[in-house]
Amino acid sequence: MEAILALESGKIFRGRSFGASGERHGEVVFNTSLTGYQEILTDPSYKGQIVAMTYPLIGNYGVNKEDIESRGIFLEGFIVKERSRIVSNWRADEGLDEYLRRNDIPGIEGVDTRALTRHIRLRGAMKAVISTEDLNEKRLVKKAKSSRGLVGIDLVKDVTVSGKQEWNKRGKRKVVVVDCGVKYNILRELVNCGCRVTIVSAYTDAREILKMKPDGVLLSNGPGDPAAVPYVVETARQLLGKVPIFGICLGQQMLGLALGGRTYKLKFGHHGANQPTKDLRTGRIYITVQNHGFNVDAKSLKRKGIEVTHINLNDGTLEGIKVRKLRAFAVQFHPEASAGPHDARYLFGEFVEMMKSAK
């Protein structure tokens, strides 16, 4: 079946449909990871986005039940150069085509993903529509232009859990995770560090969290514009200085806003497992997993005591902050790094040490 990807710029890419049929809107971005497509598909931070993989062959090792990163697929569509017809891995439960079809996610293959990526790099991430139903190019471009995009839109409400959930019941230190779209491997890494993990909805206020008497609070990753989620920012603001805080990805943006900073939209974002990041405290370079379209403006962080700990070596943007007096720190990348690399896993140990010293 024929499928079309239409961008608000007027650019059209024709290809073949796989996965589910239908029509979906979203911001189109590219991901430079060579592997880990299942983890990308199930990352809630991609809510509202259509993801194009720059690696040309996707799907060769299939999909399994162990490598999912959330309770479902939240992205809007999936774009590849070539979908592998052969699934060759002993852990595979099904193929990519069947997996997307079962989860009602449209895919398109046969697209010149190199040309698409170049277009996004030059013009920036943009609104798009992927369709197997309406194949009229002018009409699809008009639909892309009129779609809502990401700026000013609260997408956390679409991915957060309802109520409270106990991830595990044993551990030396109790960590409350504010779920803005948390990846499962963040929870697994906390458990590996000896933590007892409780997940709460993004709507949970600071007073309720403090009633649980946590040793630490983790502000999770998540989708969309951080400025559109003021209720989480207010929760972070009220928790500052009362309990150790660790923010990841959107969690850093929430913490940055709570500290009086500003956020802005990147031209095409950071999406991939090969982003070089420098730890300014040690001078070491780490290869990190990243998935974000917004960032904290380092110049806006004027509050006394804020330390910039990490920067992105590709564009110099802010990748980590710390406020020692308030026992709070955050990074813009993903230290849990499922499917890898695992360079930044040490940060979970830093969180544990912070909770120990606070105790």
The answer to whether residue 151 sits within a structural domain is no
Beta sheet of 306-312, edge-to-edge order? 164-166, 195-201, 173-179, 216-219, 245-248, 328-331, 318-323, 306-312, 263-279, 285-296
pLDDT of residue 19: 97
Of 117, 146, 175, the residue that ends a domain is 146
Residues 261 and 127 in one domain: no
Of 146, 174, 206, the residue that ends a domain is 146
Average pLDDT of the chain to the nearest whole number: 96
Residues 258 and 353 in one domain: yes
Residues 87 and 206 in one domain: no
pLDDT tens string 13-68: 999 999 999 999 999 999 999 999 999 999 999 999 999 999 999 999 999 999 99
Indicate which CATH number applies to the domain containing 320.
3.40.50.880
pLDDT of residue 358: 87
Q: Please tell me what DSSP assigns to residue 137.
A: H
**Which residues fall within 8 angstroms of residue 40, CB to CB, at 6 or more apart?**
31, 33, 46, 51, 53, 75, 291
Residues 63 and 112 in one domain: yes
The answer to whether residue 250 sits within a structural domain is yes
- Given a cut of 90, is residue 153 above it in pLDDT? yes
Residues 160 and 131 in one domain: no
Q: How far is CA 219 from CA 12, 222, 290, 359, in A?
A: 38, 9, 16, 20
Pairing of strands 328-331, 195-201: unpaired
Residues 97 and 165 in one domain: no
Chain mean position to CA 84: 25
Residues 14 and 132 in one domain: yes
Q: How far apart are CA 231 and CA 221, in angstroms?
A: 15
Residues 220 and 287 in one domain: yes
Residues 139 and 166 in one domain: no
To 10 degrees, the CA torsion angle through 237, 239, 240, 244? -140
Residues 72 and 37 in one domain: yes
**Which residues fall within 8 angstroms of residue 336, CB to CB, at 6 or more apart?**
183, 185, 186, 188, 189, 248, 345, 348
Q: How many domains does the chain have?
A: 2
The answer to whether residue 251 sits within a structural domain is yes
Indicate which CATH number applies to the domain containing 11.
3.50.30.20
For the record, the structure tokens of 97 come out as 């085509």
pLDDT tens string 194-245: 999 999 999 999 999 999 999 999 999 999 999 999 999 999 999 999 999 9
Range of the domain at 177: 156-358
Q: Give the residue numbers annotated as catalytic, written as ranges.
A: 249, 334, 336
Of 146, 175, 197, the residue that ends a domain is 146
